[in-house]
Amino acid sequence: MTAVIYARYSSDSQREASIEGQLRDCKDYAEKNGITVVGTYIDRAYSAKTDDRPEFQHMIKDSAKKIFDVVLVWKLDRFARNRYDAVNYKHQLEKNGVHLVSAMEPISQGPEGIMVESMLIGMAEYYSAELALKVARGERENALQCKYNGGVVPLGFTIGKEDRLYHIDPETAPIVQEIFSRYADGEPAEKIAASLNERGLRTRTGKPFVKNSFFQIFRNRRYIGEYRYKDIVTPGGIPAIVDEDLFNRVQQRFEQNKIAHGRPAKEDVSYLLTTKLFCGKCGTLMGGESGTSHMGNTYYYYKCGNAKRHGKAHCDLKAIRKEPLERFVVETAIKVIFSDEIIERLIDLIMEAQQQENTRLPVLKDQLRDTEKRLANLLEAIEQGILTPTTKQRLDELEARKEALNTSILEEELKKPVLTREWMRFWFEKFRKGDVGSTEHQRQIIDTFVNSVYVFDDRVVLNFNFTDDSKTVTREEVLGSSAVENAPPHPQTIRSGDFL
C-alpha cells in the first residue's frame, strides 16, 4: 500500500505541531503499518478553513492519477476544519480510490468510526470558530485605528513596519495616478496596459498589466483615502493617491464601457445523496441531473448512472425527484436515529470502539499502577529499616520508570482526544436541534448517519450506519403530492414518461 503525506502549518497558532513533527509522526505510523510513503504535500502558513491551499489542491488532483492509495495526515484538522470541506474532499478522494488516514487519531473502518471521525472534525470546527472570533476581535481593533489587516497591499501603498498604517509609496503611486488620468481622458485600457509593460512596469503581484488588472484599481476607494474593512468605513483614514473628481470620472467611463459577456453563471446545486444513492434494478450509483418542463420550470432529480451513460436499453429505472427524496431521507434519519435510546446506544458503541482502538493506553496504565505499587512497597520497607546495598538503586529505577510511564501515558492521550459522554451528547443535541431546512445540516445528517439508499420502480429502501433497522416505503410516499402536481422536466435525454 502506498501513501502520500499532507502536512499543514497555520500561522495563527504557535502551538501547533511543526511540519517536521507532523512528517515524523506520519512516517512512523506508515512504517508500523506497512505503508510505503511515495510523496509529501506541504502547505506552510495556510489555514484549513480555506480552499486556497496550493499543495492541498495539487494533492486532490493527483489522487485521480491512481499513484497512491492513502492520504496520511497528522490529525484530521490538518485536512479540514469544517465538516462540509472534510466530507466534500474525502468524497473526492474516495471516488478516486484513495482513503484518508489520521496518524494520531486511528479510527476504525466500521460505522462507529464514521461517527468518531465526524465528532473529531466537529471539535476541530469548534476550535477554528473560537479562534476566528479571537482573530476577528483583534482585526476589528486594527480597523478602528485604520491599520492594515492583511491581504494584498494595493499598488501605490506600503505598510509601515512599526505602525501597520498605510503610507504612499513614492515609486508606485505615480503609476496609479497615471492609470487613472489616462483612462479618464479616454485612452483604452489595452493601450494603457501595453505602454506600462513596455516600460517594464508590473502589477503589485509582479505580473504584466492586462486590461483586467485595472478593474480592482478603478474600484478601490482606498485611492481616495477611504479606509474600509468589512462594515467599518473611515473617510480620510489613509492618505489619498487620486482626488475624488478624477476617481468619479473614471467610474463614469468605466460604467459606460462595461459590457456583460457570456451566459449567467450556472446555478450551484448540491446533490446531497451523491455516493449514497443506488439503482435498485442494476446496483449502479445514481447521479444528479436537471431538466426543464414545457412550462419553463427547472427540476432536479437523480437518475441511474447506467441509464445516463447507455440509455434505457441497459436500465429503465425511472428518475426520481431530488428535493422530496432528500427530504424523506433526512426526516427519516432524524426519526430513527435521534431517540434518546438510540443515542445512548450509539454512545456506548463509540466508547467501546475508542477503547478497542487504543490498546496501548490501558497497558501503560496497568504498568504504572504496578510500578506505583512496587514503589510504595519499597518505601514501606525502607521505613521499617529493611535496607540492602541495592535499595537506593532500585528506588531510583522505579522512580525513573514511573516518570517515563507518566510521560508515555500523556503522549498517548495527546495523540487522540478522548471523546467523553458529555461531548457526544452535546454533539448529538446539535444534530437534533439543527435547522432541517439548512442544506449544510442535511448534508451532515446524510454523510454521518445514512449508509445507502436504493431506489426501485415501486419503492425506496433506506439503510443506516448505526442500526440494523432499514426503512422501506413506496415511491408515492416519498414523492407525496409533488409527483402529481408538478409537470416532469424535458431535457433532451429525458422524455416525460421517464420521470416520476
Look at residue 258 and tell me whether its pLDDT is greater than 70.
no
CA–CA distance, 154 with 58 (Å, rounded to integer) = 28
CA–CA distance, 451 with 132 (Å, rounded to integer) = 33
Q: Which residues fall within 8 angstroms of residue 245, CB to CB, at 6 or more apart?
A: none
pLDDT value at residue 120: 56
Percent of the chain's residues with pLDDT above 70: 78
Out of 109-118, 242-251, 371-380, give the one with best mean pLDDT.
242-251
Q: pLDDT digits over 378-401, tens only?
A: 888 887 777 777 888 888 888 888
pLDDT value at residue 409: 77
Q: pLDDT band at residue 14, thresholds of 50, 70 and 90?
A: very low
pLDDT value at residue 263: 43
Give the Å distances, CA to CA, from 398 to 366, 383, 401, 411.
Answer: 15, 17, 5, 20
- Mean pLDDT lowest for which of 171-175, 325-329, 380-384, 448-452? 380-384
- The CATH superfamily label for domain 145-257 reads Putative Large Serine Recombinase; Chain B, Domain 2 (3.90.1750.20)
Give the strands of the sheet with 286-292, arranged side by side: 286-292, 298-304, 320-321
- Model pTM score: 0.41
Evaluate whether 2-110 and 145-257 have a shared fold.
no
pLDDT value at residue 275: 83
Please report, for the chain, the start and end positions of each structural domain, with discontinuous segments joined by +. 2-110, 145-257, 277-340+429-498, 359-415
Q: pLDDT band at residue 221, thresholds of 50, 70 and 90?
A: very high
Q: pLDDT band at residue 295, thresholds of 50, 70 and 90?
A: confident
pLDDT value at residue 471: 84
Percent of the chain's residues with pLDDT above 90: 27
Closest to 130 measured CA to CA, from 279, 13, 282: 13
pLDDT value at residue 495: 34
Q: Which residues fall within 8 angstroms of residue 353, CB to CB, at 6 or more apart?
A: 108, 110, 112, 113, 116
CA 48 to chain centre: 7
Q: pLDDT digits over 94-141, tens only?
A: 888 998 888 887 655 555 555 655 665 565 555 555 555 666 677 788
Look at residue 483 and tell me whether its pLDDT is greater than 50.
no
Residue 59 burial class via C-beta count within 10 angstroms: exposed 0-12, middle 13-18, buried 19 and up: buried
- Mean pLDDT lowest for which of 153-167, 336-350, 352-366? 352-366
| Domain 2-110, second-level architecture | 3-Layer(aba) Sandwich (3.40)
CA–CA distance, 338 with 56 (Å, rounded to integer) = 35
Q: Is the dihedral of CA 256, 231, 12, 57 positive or negative?
A: negative
Q: pLDDT digits over 38-54, tens only?
A: 899 988 765 544 556 78
Give the Å distances, CA to CA, from 66 to 61, 99, 105, 331.
Answer: 10, 12, 25, 37
- Mean pLDDT lowest for which of 70-79, 253-262, 318-327? 253-262
CA–CA distance, 369 with 288 (Å, rounded to integer) = 58
Helix (H), strand (E) at residue 208? none
Top pLDDT among 87 and 301 is at 301
Residues 324, 477: contact at Cβ < 8 Å?
Answer: no
Residues 104, 132: contact at Cβ < 8 Å?
Answer: no
CA angle 451, 453, 456 (to 5 degrees): 155
Give the Å distances, CA to CA, from 138 to 134, 160, 360.
Answer: 7, 18, 42
